[in-house]
């Protein structure tokens, strides 16, 4: 399923990323180029749909805690 | 299209926000997705309960147009014409809404530039986004679609 908060890419194997949400890690597919280790991303339905600038991450977490 | 189906196709991508806020659980999100992808109308009471924020806005449009909240014209006016402006103002959540969240929450019209299995790469403005094709399995490269979060919702071309 999906979490509506940014997670951090901590591992990439081919086109599969491991996304770390702090409390848990989930696998998601990278469909577009331009994502790398350390990027904060939004996943929906097991695909990475958007990158979140690091300066926005705190705002997201405060809003949707 | 039945108004319940139209409503759900546009609203279910943002159910993950409701899930994140603890208002619905993962099983309910799955149920919403299944109903949206199979065009099965869910009970109005259920949709009104889950998406109560949307209905606050829909009700004011319905009143303005002198129609019912489930009138298809009212729902179209909400999702296709007023929704983005409401999002820009910060919707019903208190606190500062991050730019990226606002953009995901808006309904955009985008062009399909690539199809990778059941994922569509769509282009709008100067950016691209991968979206699921579950709601529009027949969509092909070159088609214009509306998108909401990580889903293409309707073909508009």
Q: How confident is the model at residue B92 (pLDDT cuts 50, 70, 90)?
A: low
Interatomic CA distance for residues B131 and B139, integer angstroms:
12
What pLDDT is attached to residue A1? 39
Asked whether residue B91 carries a pLDDT value surpassing 50, the answer given is yes
Query: Is 70 exceeded by the pLDDT of residue B94?
Result: no
Q: Please state the rounded mean pLDDT for residues B131-150.
A: 97
Mutate to test the interface with A, among B30, B32, B101, B128 (most CBs of A within 10 A): B101
pLDDT at B14: 86
Contacts of B131 in chain A (CB under 8 A): 49
Cβ–Cβ pairs < 8 A, chains A and B: 74
Report domain extents, chain B: 3-99, 106-155
Give the distance from residue A58's alpha carbon to the nearest chain B alpha carbon, in angstroms. Answer: 9
Alpha-carbon distance values, A35 to A50, B66, B95, B122 (Å): 9, 48, 29, 17
- Chain A contact set for B149 (CB, 8 A): 44, 49
Model ipTM value: 0.90
Task: Give percent of chain B above pLDDT 90.
Answer: 78
Nearest to B29 by CA among B8, B45, B48, B44: B8
Q: CATH number of the domain at B106-155, please? A: 2.30.30.140
Whole-angstrom Cα distance, residue B144 to residue B126? Answer: 15
Cross-strand pairs, A20: A8, A25
Answer whether B96 sits within 8 Å of A1, measured CB to CB: no
**Ranges in chain A, pLDDT < 70:** 1-3, 65
pLDDT, average across residues B128-137: 97
Task: Find the residue in B nearest to A5 (Cα).
Answer: B20
pLDDT in tens, B79-89: 999 999 988 88
In which band, very low, low, confident or very high, does the pLDDT at B26 lie, cut at 50, 70 and 90? confident
Tell me: the pLDDT tens digits for B27-86?
999 999 999 999 999 999 999 999 998 999 999 999 999 999 999 999 999 999 999 998
Per-window interface: A 14-53 vs B, CB < 8 A:
29, 31-32, 42, 44-45, 47-53
First to last CA, chain A: 18
Residue B146 pairs with which residues in a beta bridge?
Answer: B109, B154
Domains of chain A, CATH where assigned: 7-64 (2.30.30.140)
Q: What are the Cα distances from residue A13, in Å, to A9, A30, B87, B118?
A: 11, 10, 36, 20
Q: Using CA atoms, how far apart are residues B155 and B157, in angstroms rounded to an integer?
A: 6
What's the average model confidence in pLDDT over B134-147?
97
Backbone angles phi, psi at B77, to 5 degrees: -60, -40
B121/chain A closest Cα distance in angstroms: 8
Q: Does the distance separating the beta carbons of B98 and A44 come in below 8 Å?
A: no
For the four alpha carbons of A9, B30, B81 and B97, in that order, the dihedral sign comes to negative
């Amino acid at each position: 399923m999906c979490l509506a908060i940014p997670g951090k890419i901590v591992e990439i194997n081919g086109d599969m990323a491991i996304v770390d949400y702090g409390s848990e890690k989930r696998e998601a597919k990278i469909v577009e180029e331009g994502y790398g280790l350390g990027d904060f991303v939004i996943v929906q339905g097991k695909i990475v749909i958007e990158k979140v600038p690091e300066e926005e991450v705190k705002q997201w977490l405060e809003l949707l805690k | 299209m039945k108004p319940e189906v139209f409503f759900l196709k546009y609203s279910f991508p943002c159910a993950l926000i409701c899930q994140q806020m603890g208002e619905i659980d993962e099983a309910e999100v799955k149920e919403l997705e299944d109903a949206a992808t199979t065009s099965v109308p869910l009970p109005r009471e259920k949709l009104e309960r889950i998406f109560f924020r949307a209905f606050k806005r829909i009700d004011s449009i319905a009143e303005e147009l002198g129609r019912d909240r489930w009138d298809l014209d009212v729902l179209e006016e909400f999702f296709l014409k007023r929704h983005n402006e409401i999002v820009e103002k910060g919707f019903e959540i208190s606190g500062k809404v991050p730019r990226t969240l606002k953009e995901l929450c808006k309904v955009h019209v985008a062009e399909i530039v690539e199809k990778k299995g059941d994922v569509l790469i769509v282009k709008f403005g100067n950016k691209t986004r991968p979206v699921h094709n579950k709601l529009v399995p027949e969509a092909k490269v070159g088609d214009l679609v509306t998108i909401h979060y990580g889903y293409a919702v309707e073909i508009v071309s």
